[in-house]
Amino acid sequence: MTYLVTFTPLEPYTFGTDQSFVFEDAESVRTGKESYLAASNLLPEQTMLLGTLRYMALQKAGLLHTDLCYEPEEQEAIRELIGPESFSFQKPELSFGVIRSLSPLFLVNRERQTVLIPNPFHNTAKETGYVPMQLGPALCTSAGPVRLPPKEAYDAKNGYGSGFLELGKRGADRLQIYRKLFRKDLITGNQQVTDEKEREKAFFRRERYVLEKDYAFAVLAETADDALPTDCVVYMGVKRAAFLARVCPAAAFPAFQGLSAESPSDLLKKLVEAELNTGEPWYYALSDLIPPPGFRLRSFAIVEEKSLRNIETKLGETRLVHRRRRSPIRWHLIRAGSVFSGQAPMLEKNAAAESIGYNVICNLGG
């Protein structure tokens, strides 16, 4: 069954990035981005959402140990419940037990019962609506004929579509664009140190975000029936910020009523493609995309890049630092909201990544 799972922050949160504090543990992997400032991502990663749903399934089954210390017989029960291993971008075939698949992340407004997605980068509307960027005739370039926007249609210095686009609302103000849903602050402090020589490194600052009232992070999840608690408190990100998780059938949420699909990602795609069906063909990254080696753009596109190192859990390890650690490999992705004119980007098949909400592309217009 497909459920809508929402995560409402109960306090300011920090979602970790590679730019973090220096850790002197010998097991730590240096990234070259260590700093006194710990930056925060605005949104949780798909891998974090998967990990949180696995946490919820363990909690519902009474198998959750926050110290990750399990007896051998418990480990076997856990493998059956949520799968034998953590997600890895290097393994295209993985099972996550009672969690069958996820959609890409989106936001919901609980009061208006609407869905918000990253505003497509080619949307030229300022406050309301979807007005896709117009392209001129094809020009001869080193990559072959490419259609580019006329000068008056796109000025890179002025940026491109940003914020979040609201779907599922009817009326004159439908497709509202929201750009001020998050507030950032910085906290300052000093780490405890015993060595006087390290005192100058003790100072730190950490970014935190606050999501506006009535909004929540959300994902559609196909799971075994009754695999997740109806509501519970979960902890995500640096310093384990508290979130209220709530689970309800997707069909009970107004934006998804009357829609059906084979997977959570397809259900979200149907909503997006039904509401943004204007203009000539554009391909919209509803999720982050995993570009293959040698990836090339074949048409005009507006793309943002990002990088991440996901958390991996290994229950059999004796030390906590080994049981839960960040992957040593940094993966470079294309950010959700990116758009491609005329042709969809060529991506390699990765069933595991697609099952947790990566590589989801919508066909808009055309």
> How do the domains of the chain map onto residue ranges?
2-364
| Amino acid 329: pLDDT | 83
SS3 (DSSP) at 342: coil
Closest C-alpha among 308, 365, 309, 361 to residue 337: 361
For residue 304, pLDDT beyond 80: yes
Banded model confidence at residue 323, pLDDT cuts 50, 70, 90: low
What integer is the mean pLDDT of 92-108?
A: 96
User: Cα-Cα-Cα-Cα dihedral of 11, 15, 19, 22, to 10°?
Assistant: 70
Average the pLDDT over 53-58 and give the result. 96
| Number of other CB atoms surrounding residue 285 within 10 Å | 28
Mean pLDDT rounded to a whole number for the chain: 87
- Decide which of 221 and 309 is more confident: 221
Q: Give me the DSSP letters along 138-164.
A: EEEETTEEEE---TTT--GGG----SE
Q: Which residue has the higher pLDDT, 28 or 326?
A: 326
Q: What is the pTM of this model?
A: 0.89
More confident residue, 284 or 144: 284
Average pLDDT over residues 305-332: 71
Q: What pLDDT is recorded for position 68? A: 72
Return the number of other C-beta atoms located less than 10 Å from residue 189's C-beta: 10
